[in-house]
Structure 1
Amino acid sequence: MQDPTTLTMLAEAPLSPAERRRSLIAVIACISVVGMGLGVSIPLLALLMERQGVPASIIGLNTAMPALATFLLTPFIPALLRRVPAITFLLVCILVSAIAMPAYYFFPNVWLWFPIRFANGLALTGLFVVSEFWVNTLADEKNRGRLIGIYGTVLSCGFASGPVLLFLVGTQGLLPFATIGSLILLAGVPLILFGRGLAPRVTERPSKSFVSFLVVAPAATLAGLVYGATETNIFNLLPVYGVRTGMTEQTAAFVLSIFAAGNIFCQIPIGIWADRADRRMVLLVCALVGLLGASAIPLVAHNLWLFAPTLFIFGGVVVGLYTVGLTLLGQRFRGADLASANAAFVLMYSTGALIGPPMAGIGMDLWDPHGLIVVMAGLCGLYLAVAGWRYFTAPR
């Protein structure tokens, strides 16, 4: 493998430890604020469309706009990073996303929200792909899993705090949109204060086509797909599952926070474990525990005291697929190849988020309500087979 410094230059020379810390603080602080803004905007838009009497089918199509944006943008991000510095790219994405927020208020027609949400989806895709590439580039093999775990934990905390902020600012008038837009603009502050001259640069072309990165590291990229489908299924359909198994609506909504808590508390420990063990084996264990955890949910769904810890463990372990999948990409690729692999990973996550809910919805229609669990367990089982095949057949 080529020396990473010949592929990705950080400013004009390798960073000192202090510069590396500043650079990491800049990008992780940036993405945490973006996560908070995203955590407010998703439920806000859904509530407003429901209040306007928008049909559920139209709400679903509108919600799919960011995924469509991801499909169209991700193949071009590595080429854009060769032409535009990473920090400039992120600041443009922040500006576009911040402007999109008040645009929803000033153009309240749901059909105009389609292009607005698409533009916002382009910006968010750029933010996530480049920030993950940034962290992966700065990490070394001794701490890569831990750093990506910290990144994911901070992002999850920001996202989880969004509904709390929405409760404080409400859903009426300009205030929530102005608040979200201002929050997203603030994400640029740490980049400007701490990140100038310290962002990774891409100076060469990838060694292979973008599509090839979807299949050249299947254990890593498919981990993104499985987690994207699982996370989206949980946040969209678990409350429905809870009500249909006898929970009150309040309890069914509350259990989402248990899944989120698993996400928050388990990413760093799993990342540290991935730094000390064979990362492909860690993916295998995460998939196996995810399969067993999902399979156990119907057995404990009627007892909250058993359901809560089961869901916590399930949420904590399946997010390990995302954390360790990204870590594995950073271990294998450098420079433009890493930028392309990260973009492919985000594309696979969005694919999972797009196909997961329809699959789970059909499953629930066929076996109400446990079809949701069958779909999630099936995804973990299929991934376990792929990851196991790669573990035992791919060269070490």
Structure 2
Amino acid sequence: MTTEAVLRRRAIVAIIAAVTAMSMSLSLTIPLVSLKLELRGIGSDVIGIMGALPALSFLLASPFIPALTRIFGTGKILWASLGLCCLSIVGLGIWDNLAFWFLLRLLIGLAMAVLFLVSETWLNQVAEEKKRGRTVAIYISSMTCGFAIGPVLVNLLGAEGNFPFFVSAAIISTAGFFFLYTRGNYPNLSGHSGFSIFTFMKMAPMICAAALLVAFFDGSILTLLPVYGVKNGLTPEISVLMASVLLAGNILLQFPIGWIADRTSREVMILVCGLLGLAGTLSLPFLINIPLLLWPMLIFWGGAVVGTYTLALVLMGQQFKGAELITANAAVGVLWGLGSLIGPASAGVAMKVYEPHGMPLTFAVICAIFVLVTFQQVRNKLKLAVIAENRE
């Protein structure tokens, strides 16, 4: 194995391990903060605003990340963000002033936005083209595992005292060991991109639509699915299990999706995932009380929807490099923040207006828009391929 191949493998292992630790820490901190505020008698409106800060952070931080990496370098940005995140989480455990908590949560979100977006760009830069689908799929599955473990740790550690915050800080600090494992071979993202964040949204509508779709899915479906189950007569335990099964689909199906995408048209594969996502959404009201069909549907539905984001990252790495790749990732970060803010609010209102099926109906509309955008992009690519073949 060549030195380049060894360094590439080290970077991939380090990125995936670091992002798993980051997602675990974030998913431990978010519900922990909410529980702490609830125990202190803080109103649900304040808790809701606090919960929206991670999405707001992505929205605010993402546009500045390309310039920061260009000015300071990727390594310095990663270490500064990691240090800021660790100190802010420790701060949550030391001080209990509400205004200070708002500031700390915002700082954690800003630091996490930098860590996630730079890591995704880095992964795409070092991934081999022929294995890009599988590499990104492992990354998404590992990150989802981290997000799934966080709430479990809340149950194990409890919400009393400062210790859970210190555990969260310790978990994310392990990302530093994984960064060291790369031996300082951080990605070179210097230079100027040929397009801006907003221009990218016009250039790559399919990638942008996938980011909005999955952010909406994470924010609305995973949040409100247990509520939807209860409103349809299921027990609270079964309703919560629905969200867990959905997450299981996210984890289990990403590698098969990435494997297929490495051997077929990635654009066609993302369209297939979108169609499966739409089918799952439309079938949910009919299958909600048919367990034999509901559980497998949830697995395929969750895996297919998140698969659109996996494939969007793959296409991004395939089409863009260097400074343009970090700009593309920053645009996706803005859209992710936007979708995460809009998703829960719109789906919640829809569920209240059209009870109980407003939530899946809202997501079906978003999914249908994604399918239409993707179909148009695939059709345009096929037309260009036919024209090129005729010229030859």
TM-score by length of 1: 0.93
1:361 aligned onto 2:348: yes
1:4 aligns to what? none
1:218-367 alignment to 2 at 5 Å?
A: 218-367=205-354
In the alignment of these two chains, the number of paired residues is 382
Is residue 59–residue 335 contact of structure 2 (8 Å, CA) maintained in 1?
no
SS in 1 for 2:130: coil
Q: Distance in 2 between matches of 1:345 and 1:15?
A: 32
Q: Distance in 2 between matches of 1:100 and 1:15?
A: 38
Alignment equivalent of 1:60, drawn from 48, 53, 77: 48
Alignment equivalent of 1:371, drawn from 335, 358, 361: 358
**1:235 positional shift:** 2.2
Is residue 37–residue 47 contact of structure 2 (8 Å, CA) maintained in 1?
yes
Q: Distance in 2 between matches of 1:165 and 1:67?
A: 22
**1:339 positional shift:** 0.6
Q: Distance in 2 between matches of 1:381 and 1:87?
A: 40
2:165 aligns to what? 177
Is residue 15–residue 198 contact of structure 1 (8 Å, CA) maintained in 2?
no
State the AA in 2 paired with 1:240.
Answer: V
Is residue 12–residue 127 contact of structure 2 (8 Å, CA) maintained in 1?
no
Q: Distance in 1 between matches of 2:44 and 2:361?
A: 25
2:376 aligns to what? 389
Q: Distance in 1 between matches of 2:323 and 2:232?
A: 48
SS in 2 for 1:276: coil
2:389 aligns to what? none
Q: Deviations over 1:268-323 (max 9, x none)?
A: 11111111111111111111110011111100111223221111111010000110
Is residue 228–residue 356 contact of structure 2 (8 Å, CA) maintained in 1?
yes
Alignment equivalent of 2:196, drawn from 185, 193, 209: 209
1:25 aligns to what? 13
**1:234 positional shift:** 2.0
**1:88 positional shift:** 2.5
Is residue 87–residue 196 contact of structure 1 (8 Å, CA) maintained in 2?
no
State the AA in 1 paired with 2:239.
Answer: A
Moved more, 260-269 or 92-101: 92-101
1:126 aligned onto 2:111: no
Moved more, 106-115 or 223-232: 106-115
SS in 1 for 2:188: strand
Q: Distance in 2 between matches of 1:309 and 1:360?
A: 24
SS in 2 for 1:143: helix
Gaps of 5+ in 2: 386-392
Q: Distance in 2 between matches of 1:313 and 1:28?
A: 24
> Structure 1's 306 and 110: CA in aligned 2 closer, same or farther, altered over 3 A?
farther
Q: Distance in 2 between matches of 1:53 and 1:303?
A: 39
State the AA in 2 paired with 1:260.
Answer: L
State the AA in 2 paired with 1:48.
Answer: K
**1:15 positional shift:** 6.0
Alignment equivalent of 1:152, drawn from 140, 143, 146: 140
Q: Please tell me the root mean square deviation across aligned C-alpha atoms, in Å.
A: 1.4
Q: Deviations over 1:143-184 (max 9, x none)?
A: 111110011111111111112222222111011001001111
1:89 aligned onto 2:77: yes
Is residue 87–residue 195 contact of structure 1 (8 Å, CA) maintained in 2?
no
Q: Distance in 1 between matches of 2:47 and 2:209?
A: 28
Gaps of 5+ in 1: 1-13
Is residue 86–residue 169 contact of structure 2 (8 Å, CA) maintained in 1?
yes
State the AA in 2 paired with 1:211.
Answer: F
Is residue 203–residue 336 contact of structure 1 (8 Å, CA) maintained in 2?
yes
Q: Deviations over 1:205-235 (max 9, x none)?
A: 1111221112210101110110000111122
1:190 aligned onto 2:178: yes
Q: Deviations over 1:34-63 (max 9, x none)?
A: 111112112111212222222222212111
SS in 1 for 2:377: helix
State the AA in 2 paired with 1:32.
Answer: T
Instruction: List 4+ stretches of structure 1 deviating above 6 A.
Output: none
1:168 aligns to what? 156
Alignment equivalent of 2:67, drawn from 79, 95, 99: 79
1:103 aligned onto 2:87: no
Alignment equivalent of 2:130, drawn from 142, 158, 168: 142
Identical positions, percent: 37
**1:106 positional shift:** 2.3
Q: Distance in 2 between matches of 1:18 and 1:105?
A: 40
Is residue 93–residue 166 contact of structure 2 (8 Å, CA) maintained in 1?
no
Q: Distance in 2 between matches of 1:109 and 1:271?
A: 45
